[in-house]
């Protein structure tokens, strides 16, 4: 039984796996999308999403935590300067995994993992919609209904 064992070891020892995930996360931050296997993409998603959340608040402590995980200064600088600004209002879900089919050589399931806010194809069709609450809609309908009743009453008087 494998109760409570969440880590996918990916057929590697701990040090190799951590180095590989750090390198893949740096490549993802630098290139905004990478192609890899589905299992590695899921592992990178779990690795990089908390790091991006840390980068949304630019403090020395958060920079040191992210630097200890990523280990590449250029990736950390780009993460805090560019990526964190772009995903600042997003409450999570910074990456998207798109399955591509199987690899020709060994038939491994391939996937593309990308940062959501940097995909122009998906974001081009969506216009920024003004957020509204249910209260504002109900209040607006009452205000619109009241003048209609008054005009009806004025027509009956004539």
Class of domain 14-118: alpha beta
66 pLDDT higher than 60 = yes
> What's the whole-number mean pLDDT along residues 141-153?
53
Closest CA to 65 of 74, 78, 52: 52
pLDDT of residue 6: 87
Cα(79)–Cα(73) distance, integer angstroms: 10
Closest CA to 64 of 75, 74, 56, 76: 76
Residue 113 token pair: 């993992």
111 pLDDT higher than 80 = yes
Cα(50)–Cα(66) distance, integer angstroms: 9
Residue 77 token pair: 């600088």
Given 3-state DSSP classes, what are the helix, strand and coil percentages for the chain, each rounded to the nearest 5?
60, 15, 30
Local confidence band at 134 (pLDDT 50, 70, 90 cut-offs): low
- Ranges of each domain in the chain: 14-118
Q: Give the strand pairing for 95-102 and 109-115.
A: antiparallel
Closest CA to 23 of 42, 48, 6, 46: 48
Q: Give the strand pairing for 109-115 and 33-37.
A: antiparallel
Q: pTM (2 decimals)?
A: 0.76
Closest CA to 86 of 56, 58, 59: 56
Write phi, then psi, for 35 (nearest 5 degrees).
Answer: -105, 135
> What's the whole-number mean pLDDT along residues 52-78?
97
Share of the chain above pLDDT 90, in %: 71
Of 66-70, 75-79, 149-153, minimum mean pLDDT range:
149-153
């Amino acid at each position: 039984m494998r109760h409570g064992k969440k880590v996918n070891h990916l057929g590697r020892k701990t040090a190799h796996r951590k180095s590989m995930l750090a390198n893949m996360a740096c490549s993802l931050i630098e290139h905004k999308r990478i192609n890899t296997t589905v299992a590695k993409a899921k592992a990178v998603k779990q690795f990089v999403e908390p790091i991006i959340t840390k980068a949304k608040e630019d403090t020395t402590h958060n920079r040191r935590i992210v630097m200890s995980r990523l280990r590449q200064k250029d990736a950390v600088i780009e993460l805090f300067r560019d990526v964190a600004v772009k995903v600042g209002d997003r409450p999570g879900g910074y990456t998207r995994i798109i399955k591509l089919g199987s690899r020709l050589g060994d038939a491994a399931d391939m996937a593309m993992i990308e940062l959501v806010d940097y995909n122009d194809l998906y974001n081009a069709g969506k216009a920024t919609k003004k957020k509204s609450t249910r209260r504002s809609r109900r209040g607006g309908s009452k205000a619109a209904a009241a003048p209609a009743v008054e005009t009806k009453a004025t027509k009956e008087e004539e």
